Chains A and B, each alone.
Chain A
Amino acid sequence: MEPDSRTRWRCRRGMLENDWLLGQFLAQGYAQLDQEGRDAFERLLDYPDNVLLDVVMGRQTTVDDGIARLVPALRAAAAAETAP
């Protein structure tokens, strides 16, 4: 399922790093999520920007198993586009 507009807008963040991470995931990983994954993604978007970045970068762990399961896919999507 493709992300709806609201989810897309919630991926507009205060930091470019998060814009990139979330934007890449919307383009390459989101469609493969099941309902549980989509719910976890919405919970991830509730995080403040710095926490979101730390969790995805692996600098901070989360007790939310659903979000933890998303992290590898987010990282894979972020680096999927080849370097220029």
Chain B
Amino acid sequence: MNLTRRKFDALIIGAGGAGLRAALQLSNGDAKVAVVSKVFPTRSHTVAAQGGVNAALANVLPDSWHWHMFDTVKGSDYLGDQDAIEYMCRAASKVVYELDHFGVPFSRLDNGNIYQRAFGGQSQNFGQDQAARTCAAADRTGHAILHSLYQQNLRARTHFFDEYFAVDLLRDEQGFVLGVLAFEILTGEPIVIEAKTTLIATGGAGQLFRTTTNALINTGDGMAMALRAGVPLEDMEFVQFHPTGIAGRGMLITEGARGEGGFLVNADGERFMERYAPRAKDLASRDVVSRSIATEVREGRGCGRNRDHVLLDLRHLGADAIRHRLPGIREASMTFLGVDPIEAPIPVFPTCHYSMGGIPTNRFGQVVAPVKDTPEDPVPGLYAAGEAACVSVHGANRLGGNSLLDILVFGRAAANHILEYLRENHYHRPLDETAVEQAMARLTRWDRKDPGDGSSEQVEPLKRELRKVMEDHCSVFRTDEVMREGVEKVRALRERLNHAVIADHSATFNTARVEAMELENLMDCAIATIRSALGREESRGAHSRIDFPDRDDQHWLKHSLYSLADDSLDYKPVRTQPNTVPSFPPKERVY
């Protein structure tokens, strides 16, 4: 096929924190590196991370990597792989000091050391007093990290393919991943990027849900590419929701609003949390509040035109308290809703925040799958890191401050393993042209014209329906019946997507085509998520089922693996054995 072709040692798909950290390590290691990103790199979603990076620097309170490890294992509801968690927590201090040297302006203590703030789920001495472990650059840590890493990559001469969309991985018959077919959004020109190693760092799939904090770009592109290349996705049922997103918009209204005395009411004006959590009421844990909101809406007590949300009332706090103690929340409500919480309550609904699941990898960033003899054989030439990957360090539930740490530690670890691989693999393997043709077919499928007989479907309405189906059937209210119905609805939508056409067939800046392919990716991630959620008959971490309310370690202390080709679920054991320290056995998770 007569296509533009380029060759690199390493190809990185995605230019968020994980991709850029890996790229920098590789460029500094003298590898020839390309980064493909559908948006300009500094517009990746890492920029939205406000919280910070966890590392046991002990600058504010006593701390140790081992305590951090304990907290992460416990936070994961014991589903995290303890070898990877140990590795991450041990590496944390090093990656933070590296960032400091790269120019990230961390907030400082008076003595010049990096300031550390206390976050939920952090403890000293294995579950005792609160720890202070999160290093932050004011409230824009992600932004600072992303910009510093981008500048460092420019200095290291990393090659960027900005505004290129990756279509599919190119895999040969022996299972080696040899690069990707992409196209330049500006010209529509396809390009084959051959690489000895390919790292997927495309972030999460938060756009699966109607109400989400995730940017529009988070469409699970890399996860879906892996699925189509025959790699199963791991633990996709674990999606973190925050109880109070702005209804119909998604932006977060932090717990601070309820901490200051705000409360939730339904359409009858009832403070319904008093029924679900008589003691903690509106300050019950996130999953309890989320599920209570969803239950109110399902049972017809939702507010608004569509009765699809509840209200967060702050008015009783008074204008002064709202202005002075909750200025950010007031500003967000006024900007995105036109609602001043001094005068009216804020419409809220649980909002999707983070995908714990993703492409299965080991702690070296190698993608692992049941290729030959074990459930964890490395897929040669393929790596993944960041939210797209499932190492798994977050297990069933991620702790605040661990997502930026994850992208940095495993972006770097993957790059180190790639450098080793490159030392032993000097030459490009011959490209399998059949793989190129298959990927091209996925691209040219969108050249199809509307037959005009009324049988065709449109991308935008299908996307809207998918996100609503996922919200209604697979967000925080999960039962066998609800999800079974959801699976059928997602399958029906996937079938309808086969009949979708786009109106714009121009070559240059055809964003309709990009959005159509993003929807294909979302559909694949959707079926993986809802099938995995239906399969897991227990409640653990972020996966909370009404019909199976308890954690069941006897049957479910295992990772889910969903394969697209045969629409099947499989499972593999959790790695409960750390590298050098004794295992933390499962215990009841109480804080």
Q: How far is the CA of A19 from the CA of B249 in the complex (A)?
A: 10
Q: Contact check, A17 vs B336: say whether CB atoms are below 8 A apart.
A: yes
**What's the nearest-Cβ distance from chain A to residue B17, in Å?**
11
Q: Contact check, B304 vs A5: say whether CB atoms are below 8 A apart.
A: no
Mark interface residues in A1-29 (1 if CB within 8 Å of B CB, else 0). 00011101100111111111100000000
Mark interface residues in B191-220 (1 if CB within 8 Å of A CB, else 0). 000000000000000000000111111000
B39: A residues at CB distance < 8 A: 9, 12-14
Q: How far is the CA of A2 from the CA of B309 in the complex (A)?
A: 34
Stretch among A33-41, A61-69, A75-83 lining the B interface = A75-83
Q: Contact check, A13 vs B510: say whether CB atoms are below 8 A apart.
A: no
Q: A48-B47, A83-B338 are in contact. Are A16 and B509 (CB under 8 A)?
A: no
B247: A residues at CB distance < 8 A: 83-84
Q: Contact check, B251 vs A16: say whether CB atoms are below 8 A apart.
A: yes
Count, A-B residue pairs, CB within 8 A: 98
B window 466-510: CB within 8 A of A? 508-510
Q: Contact check, A16 vs B213: say whether CB atoms are below 8 A apart.
A: yes
Q: A15-B47, A16-B212 are in contact. Are A5 and B511 (CB under 8 A)?
A: yes
Closest residue of B by beta carbon distance from A59: B331
Q: Contact check, B338 vs A14: say whether CB atoms are below 8 A apart.
A: no
A19: B residues at CB distance < 8 A: 215-216
B window 279-326: CB within 8 A of A? 304-306, 308-309
Q: Is A73 an interface residue (CB 8 A)?
A: no
Closest residue of A by beta carbon distance from B213: A16
Q: Is B250 an interface residue (CB 8 A)?
A: yes
B251: A residues at CB distance < 8 A: 16-17, 20
Question: Chain B interface residue count: which class?
Answer: 35 or more
Interchain CB contact (< 8 A) of A12 among B43, B334, B335: B43
Q: Is B339 an interface residue (CB 8 A)?
A: yes
B331: A residues at CB distance < 8 A: 57
Q: How far is the CA of A39 from the CA of B53 in the complex (A)?
A: 38
Q: A4-B509, A6-B509, A79-B338 are in contact. Are A50 and B185 (CB under 8 A)?
A: no
Interchain CB contact (< 8 A) of B43 among A5, A17, A49, A75: A49
Closest residue of A by beta carbon distance from B305: A84
Q: How far is the CA of A14 from the CA of B251 in the complex (A)?
A: 13
Q: How far is the CA of A20 from the CA of B308 in the complex (A)?
A: 20
Q: Is B347 an interface residue (CB 8 A)?
A: yes
Q: Is B48 an interface residue (CB 8 A)?
A: yes
Q: Is B377 an interface residue (CB 8 A)?
A: no
B window 323-367: CB within 8 A of A? 331-332, 334-339, 347
**What's the nearest-Cβ distance from chain A to residue B349, in Å?**
9
Q: How far is the CA of A79 from the CA of B47 in the complex (A)?
A: 24
**What's the nearest-Cβ distance from chain A to residue B404, in Å?**
14
B146: A residues at CB distance < 8 A: 14
Q: How far is the CA of A84 from the CA of B215 in the complex (A)?
A: 20
**What's the nearest-Cβ distance from chain A to residue B87, in Å?**
28
Selected A-B contacts with CB under 8 Å, 8 pairs: A9-B509, A14-B39, A14-B47, A16-B215, A21-B335, A75-B335, A79-B334, A84-B309
8 A-B pairs with the lowest CB-CB distances in the bound complex, closest first: A79-B338, A14-B47, A5-B509, A84-B248, A15-B48, A83-B337, A14-B43, A50-B143
A: residues with CB less than 8 A from B are: 4-6, 8-9, 12-21, 48-50, 56-57, 75, 78-80, 82-84
Known A14-B215, A20-B249; 5 more pairs at CB < 8 Å = A9-B185, A9-B511, A15-B45, A50-B47, A83-B304
